Structure 1
């Protein structure tokens, strides 16, 4: 990499893998495998379904594309404008930049459907290779005892394992990935001869004692914009905003892909592909204006 300092690099500093015929494109992971191409993004007005900004980038990371679009639509925003984006644009850095810029936004995370009762049982409706295949996740039984199987004492000096032995505190104010936790470890005199050792330790031949941690929540001193956004998404307003996003932008992509037959870009080079993407979005806008005029 040092021999080619001018290579295009990702946010993590790694060079983009490209090819000789179109060095501005990037490898994309799709449902049909890995292809060489571009990512087309569009900002759409919720009231009129008019595309107010369209961009093409040679990257497979949508997270890097949110802020350029937000900056591009600034002339169209008012103090009452709210932005909404899907989970591909969700990252701590993006949410921090939006919060510091005073931009009102709702950007869902990858797990928001699992927290929303409206999507319960959705896995059974996904595409299946045959009618008898059900893609719902199979809940696997834990091989070892989980922290929920241990009982924490009222004053928290120890906890009790399923065998009735005490595990003693070896860390009352620890931090794991921003979470506050209390750690407890068992004594060798209790764990080694314990009849439930195989159910408690993953490797009883090499590990003599069990350790367990009880998490108490996030540390207040750490600002986690992702946690704040999760609370916004899970609110009644957030759920309405996410539903409104589906009805706003997804029909545009469906129109361009199915009605306009834009199944793939036919040009090479970012400038040409960007022009092709903008042209299709322009045709969509013309149709929308015509429908509004003659409606």
Structure 2
């Protein structure tokens, strides 16, 4: 078969009903996506009107980052550091793209052209990014205050209504390592006791001919138990008191992340935080965001409102006498309502007992309806299921058991008396099945016929 060279003209003949049609294939320019060296103006990669262009302009010309300079003391000696403005640009733009890990930010700074433009192709290491975020958290929080001031200066905050809501976020901590100090003391004691038992057994086994690998495994297990017990004792010494909740109750601690808490969610129990945000209604500007190690949202309402009031520091307060705060039923409590009244803040908070009150009123309405007259077989069956057909029997301590023959005779007499009494009633109030009826105190209810027992 001959080889076809790309770009050559090919004539194809197709026979259709004894007619020969000649077809020609179109030619296209080849697209080469292999790596190459290109002269790129990094500044022009930040297109006007995009988030990265606004971020680059704000950090370079609008924000005061002098507080970051106090951390560095390399003016005379030491290596040059990465500029905090560059790291802040990269981190904030990565957050906007859903990238929240230091290794992920390092990778896009090496491969993505927008990150390369923001970082100036410096390619910071992931340890540098992680250290910047973890060590300068307070300085970064002050930057958000400046951004909020710029938004307010441009009229993006309406101050008419603020909505508060939250979400439960998992933390990088194991919920199995949660408990009170008493729980941790008990775990340490159990580990130390298990290590002592294994040591005694190990000494006994040393007197016997045992394979070397088994002795090594036992020694490793003993070392691990002792290490875990020592870590527990060390943690207890570093935290002499239990965590306290808002009402003074003991809250479980976590040895991995003691600021997090164990909380119940729709997807199960997690170890994490409750994140709360307050948003202005005019342009959905987030005016405050917090994270607390508690599963209760009720105790977070007042701290968020106070943070909104102090968001602009010396500037005009965000909450005015005409502002309105809205929140869902998770933030409703009598204590919160009293504190809002003391702060003179208008709020609309859903009552968490409203649904229960509506449900109780519906139940009372449905139970107050009278039963329908027993005029059909269906109504008769419903009435029979609601109340017993025979009044409950009472026995005294001195009463003797009635023989079975006497009970059958007494039942036959009661049945005959019932049938004769029903003949005197109007036909509209009689049950259709008049056989084997029993007398009741309130109404006449038909009793079902006895089914024959199997085998008879």
TM-score (norm 2): 0.25
The structure that is strand-richer by fraction is 1
Q: Which has the higher contact order (CA 8 A, sep 6+)?
A: 1
TM-score (norm 1): 0.38
